Amino acid sequence: AKWVYGFGGGEADGGAGDRNLLGGKGANLAEMSGLGLPVPPGFTITTEVCTHYYANGHAYPEELDDQVDAALDRIGELTAKRFGDPARLLLVSVRSGARASMPGMMDTVLNLGLNDETVEALARDAGDRRFAYDSYRRFIQMYSNVVLGLEHEMFEEILEEEKARRGAEYDTELAAEDWARVTELYKAKVFEEMEKPFPQDPREQLWGAIGAVFSSWMNPRAITYRRLHDIPESWGTAVNVQAMVFGNMGDTSATGVAFTRNPSTGEKKLYGEFLVNAQGEDVVAGIRTPQNITEEARIGAGSDKPSLEKLMPEAFRDFVTIADRLEGHYRDMQDLEFTIERGRLWMLQTRSGKRTAKAALRIAVDMAGEGLIGQEEAVSRIEPGSLDQLLHPTIDPKAERDVIAIGLPASPGAATGEIVFSSDEAEELKAAGRRVILVRIETSPEDIHGMHAAEGILTTRGGMTSHAAVVARGMGKPCVSGAGQLRVDYRNQTLTAMGRTFNRGDVITIDGANGQVLAGQVAMLQPELSGDFAAIMEWADKIRRMKVRTNAETPADARTARSFGAEGIGLCRTEHMFFEDDRINVMREMILADTESGRRSALAKLLPMQRSDFSELFEIMAGLPVTIRLLDPPLHEFLPKSGKEISEVAAAIGVSPEKLRQRTEALHEANPMLGHRGCRLAVSYPEIAEMQARAIFEAAIEAGRKTGAPVEPEIMVPLVGIVKELDFVKARIDAVAKAVMEETGETIAYLVGTMIELPRAAIRAHEIAQAAEFFSFGTNDLTQTTFGISRDDAAAFMETYRQKGIVEADPFVTLDVEGVGELVRMAAEKGRATRPAIKLGICGEHGGDPASIRFCEEVGLDYVSCSPFRVPIARLAAAQAAV
Ligand code: PEP
Ligand code: MG
């Protein structure tokens, strides 16, 4: 079998299409090489080797050794060098490369192949001993850290001591013999820690690094990352071995990263950063503040450090040409890594660039405009969940700003929260319902969980491509990076800014749009949903088949949802309306009444309140369909719980505390979710359903008069399992409709339907459809009752289920297509068989989940209904599901 794929010299064994086999990095290196771009020759050990490695007790396939040798020889031919041969020194880099880029794994070992002998060869080849020994000590440090597992800090300490001994402030003040000495000290340290010498044999080094890449696939950080991003373990990682090129061979050498368009705004301008005389990861690590690539960006940033355009115009021109070519070739914004070795440009990586949601929209819309892609493709390029970012608030331009520092605008959006200095603490406070800003000197993959928990991230070091910036953009979290005027003191838990000290717990605000850090809380504005957002939404609306409605009961939610493009209300949970202000007590009066007439008189008080609620919703929805669900929760949810509350409520509604307590006890249920709720209440107390139906019909007439548009309400009966339940309730609703029409002389068109949220309802759907004019799948309850897992208690163990691989996703978040979905599919078919024109929708939480929406399209539902802020996501997901 072929386990190793070579590239270089204008050729390659594979290409961009081989991502699964070669990983993202390897596939693109092969592609670039095949395009004839300057790529240092190398080879990729496939992801299948990783799979083999784990399936066979950490053993490699037999042929691997020979194939790696042959590939090394090929690099030697292309470079006129030879691995391990001091006379023709070839050094390599070793990098991991999964299908999807994955922080948390072993990243890179550079300068591999150096030892006590070859370091002299490097000094000779480069004509620079200082460079050679600096490279050697970097190699020992990196290798010891990622392959041997020794702490970075051990080596940093040695270096600091050496600098102090030499009276040097900067690394650059150390001479060749100083670095040689540091190298000796490093090796001694390794010996002390490992009880064996630092490996001198280049082949041993190489296999050590390859093994480290494969092992890192299973390290805890990588596992966490995969879990957060739904990356299957079975994918495995590839290993890329590539001839070294040096960005640190003096002032005509450099290394950098760039995006073909601005990853923050999407603007069509080459955007990037570089460092002169630096190696590989120096730019990303944020150790020195990098320089701009283009003159225009330099001027824009007000930087006095020269741009690449000025400093190395030839290499710059080559780079621009290649960047354009790659973007056109991939028809997407590219994220590039390059190195300039003594004036000569080498490409080290290209991949589709991570971008903010805002940039993604702009790039998709622009590229459609440029004719690079079509509208359908533009729509399919936007990750629906990412739209969430655009719905985040920004700082009100009129608000007072108490600016304490300015950093880089690393990821847009504004956030306010309490200062915390550690990721663990961010996570703890978030779990306690607090909002925090994670403040770090810089972040590393160990901070992923803290970044997730924080509202925003602030770092004092690092550029736009630093870890904090890249990860925050991916997460859609506001981030300000490299705020150099700030001093973070982890020990004392303080943040100092221009003489002012902020403590842990103090509130600050960050503005990811301009890099400002502000003291205290600042007024925010809701986002503007025009421009590119509107364009993509318009295209999505043309493509999608399903309608998108919202779950809303308050006028505010209904308005928000309409502004997000909701095409009606799919679920109005009327019980929420009973909790407002004084209504709850009228509701309690009703529950406490001993007779039907007592209940009716309390209900008569509720009627006008409900009527005005509905009337307002109808007006806001202006002729769009509105589904109103009859009372669903068990009645005891409206009664007070504690003794203190009982006496207060008893006084307020004028009954004895004793009576209230008795009633509360009588209504107590062992299993309320499976108890006296849903249509069962309407069967026991038809007068409640009657009041609600009357309120709906009267409001429909009222709103119809006001707006001039006839309102056709959809009345929904919850938790039906037996068709006779629905027959019973529907008869009451129809009777009320008739009465209201007679009283007013108006005709009202209306629909009566049911939720399908019990397995029995799905099984008997053909029968239920005789009475129901629509079905709305209540997949929250349907998931609960199908699994027999309480939706309120599932969270406690669902994560364990996920971790142990028992379920792939929480079924209360993403529809369980195989089980619950099968019931949905069956009920839809049976419903249609009885009543071909039956309206079908979904109103469980899954109605706003892109994967579940795909399934809804597949079974041909007419609409999905979701919470207001998910409406744009659902519109886009519905379009993507339709193509
Ligand atoms: C459902 O069960 O899916 C539903 C929408 O109703 P609720 O969440 O109110 O029970
Ligand atoms: Mg329900």
How far apart CA 142 and CA 654 sit, in angstroms, is 76
CA dihedral (454, 458, 463, 467) in degrees, to 10, reads: -30
Highest mean pLDDT among 16-30, 580-594, 781-795: 16-30
pLDDT in tens, 321-379: 999 999 999 999 999 999 999 999 999 999 999 898 889 999 999 999 999 999 999 99
Residue to substitute in 572, 574, 576, 757 for testing ligand 1 pocket (most ligand atoms within 8 angstroms of CB): 757
Residue 289 is predicted with a pLDDT of: 78
* Residue of minimum CA distance from atom 9 in ligand 1: 573
Residue 287 is predicted with a pLDDT of: 64
843 an active-site residue?
yes
Residues 680-691 have a mean pLDDT of 97
Helix, strand and coil percent figures for the chain, each rounded to 5: 50, 15, 35
Domain ranges of the chain: 73-243, 254-355, 393-525, 545-573+600-628+675-882
Share the mean pLDDT of the chain. Answer: 93
Residue 424 is predicted with a pLDDT of: 92
Q: Which residue has the tokens 């307590």?
A: 661
| β pairing state of 774-777 and 839-842 | parallel
Closest atom of ligand 1 to CA, residue 843: 5
Q: Do residues 413 and 513 touch, judged by C-beta distance below 8 A?
A: yes
CATH number of 73-243: 1.20.80.30
Residue 387 is predicted with a pLDDT of: 87
How far apart CA 682 and CA 852 sit, in angstroms, is 31
What's the gap in Å between 19 CA and the centre of ligand 1?
Answer: 41
How far apart CA 105 and CA 112 sit, in angstroms, is 18
Query: Above 90 in pLDDT, residue 101?
Result: no
Residue 474 is predicted with a pLDDT of: 63
Q: Do residues 839 and 775 touch, judged by C-beta distance below 8 A?
A: yes
How far apart CA 266 and CA 359 sit, in angstroms, is 4
Catalytic residue among 50, 479, 572, 843: 843
Q: How confident is the model at residue 386 (pLDDT cuts 50, 70, 90)?
A: confident
DSSP alpha helix (H) spans, 302-372: 308-311, 313-330, 357-369
What's the gap in Å between 743 CA and the centre of ligand 1?
Answer: 34
572 an active-site residue?
no
pLDDT in tens, 459-504: 998 776 677 887 787 676 899 998 988 999 999 999 999 889 999 9
Closest atom of ligand 1 to CA, residue 778: 3
Query: Above 70 in pLDDT, residue 455?
Result: yes
What's the gap in Å between 429 CA and the centre of ligand 1?
Answer: 30
Q: Which CATH architecture has domain 393-525?
A: 3-Layer(bba) Sandwich (3.50)
* Residue of minimum CA distance from atom 1 in ligand 1: 778
Residue 449 is predicted with a pLDDT of: 85
Q: Which fold has domain 545-573+600-628+675-882?
A: TIM Barrel (3.20.20)
How far apart CA 380 and CA 879 sit, in angstroms, is 8
Q: Which residue has the tokens 């080498």?
A: 346
Mean pLDDT check: name the lowest of 96-105, 139-148, 157-166, 593-602: 96-105
Residues 608-627 have a mean pLDDT of 95
Instruction: Give this prediction's pTM.
Output: 0.80
Query: Above 80 in pLDDT, residue 135?
Result: yes
How far apart CA 308 and CA 321 sit, in angstroms, is 14
What's the gap in Å between 718 CA and the centre of ligand 2?
Answer: 7
Q: How confident is the model at residue 286 (pLDDT cuts 50, 70, 90)?
A: low
Q: Nearest to residue 630, comparing CAs of 646, 614, 647, 650?
A: 614
Percent pLDDT > 90 in the chain is: 76
* Residue of minimum CA distance from atom 6 in ligand 1: 778
All residues at 6 or more sequence positions from 715 whose CB lies less than 8 Å from its CB, including other chains: 627, 628, 630, 693, 696, 733, 750, 751, 752, 753
- Cα dist from 632 to 64, 607, 638, 863, whole Å: 64, 17, 12, 22
Catalytic residue among 467, 636, 846, 856: 467
Residues 74-98 have a mean pLDDT of 95
DSSP alpha helix (H) spans, 486-595: 531-543, 555-563, 583-592
Give CA angle at 6 (2, 9), nearest 5°: 155
SS3 of residue 504 by DSSP: coil
* Residue of minimum CA distance from atom 3 in ligand 1: 778
Q: Would you give the end-to-end CA distance of the chain in angstroms?
A: 38
* 665-674 CB contacts, 8 Å cutoff, 24+ apart: 667/591, 667/634, 667/635, 667/636, 667/639, 668/636, 669/634, 669/636, 672/633, 672/634, 672/636, 672/637, 673/781, 673/784, 673/790, 673/791, 673/792, 674/785
Residue 465 is predicted with a pLDDT of: 67
Query: Above 80 in pLDDT, residue 619?
Result: yes
How far apart CA 785 and CA 819 sit, in angstroms, is 11
* Residue of minimum CA distance from atom 4 in ligand 1: 778
Closest atom of ligand 1 to CA, residue 571: 5
Q: How confident is the model at residue 74 (pLDDT cuts 50, 70, 90)?
A: very high
- Cα dist from 776 to 656, 753, 847, 861, whole Å: 42, 8, 11, 9
Ligand 1 binding residues, C-beta < 6 A: 571, 573, 632, 757, 778-781, 843-844
Residues 507-531 have a mean pLDDT of 88
Q: How confident is the model at residue 395 (pLDDT cuts 50, 70, 90)?
A: confident
Q: How confident is the model at residue 448 (pLDDT cuts 50, 70, 90)?
A: confident
DSSP 493: T
Strand partners, 47: none
What's the gap in Å between 551 CA and the centre of ligand 1?
Answer: 10
Higher-confidence residue of 429 and 283: namely 429
Q: What is the ipTM metric for this complex? A: 0.99
Residues in the chain: 883
Q: Which two tokens stand for residue 217?
A: 């696939």
Residues 726-751 have a mean pLDDT of 97
DSSP 173: G
Homologous superfamily (CATH) for 254-355: ATP-grasp fold, B domain (3.30.470.20)
**Which-ligand-closest: CA of 779?**
1
Query: Element (H or E) spanning 629, and its range?
Result: strand 626-629
Residue 453 is predicted with a pLDDT of: 92
pLDDT in tens, 222-266: 888 888 788 888 999 999 999 999 998 889 999 999 999 999 889
Query: Above 80 in pLDDT, residue 283?
Result: no
- Cα dist from 225 to 221, 229, 451, 747, whole Å: 6, 6, 12, 59
Residue 468 is predicted with a pLDDT of: 86
What's the gap in Å between 660 CA and the centre of ligand 1?
Answer: 29
Residue 641 is predicted with a pLDDT of: 79
Residue 735 is predicted with a pLDDT of: 98
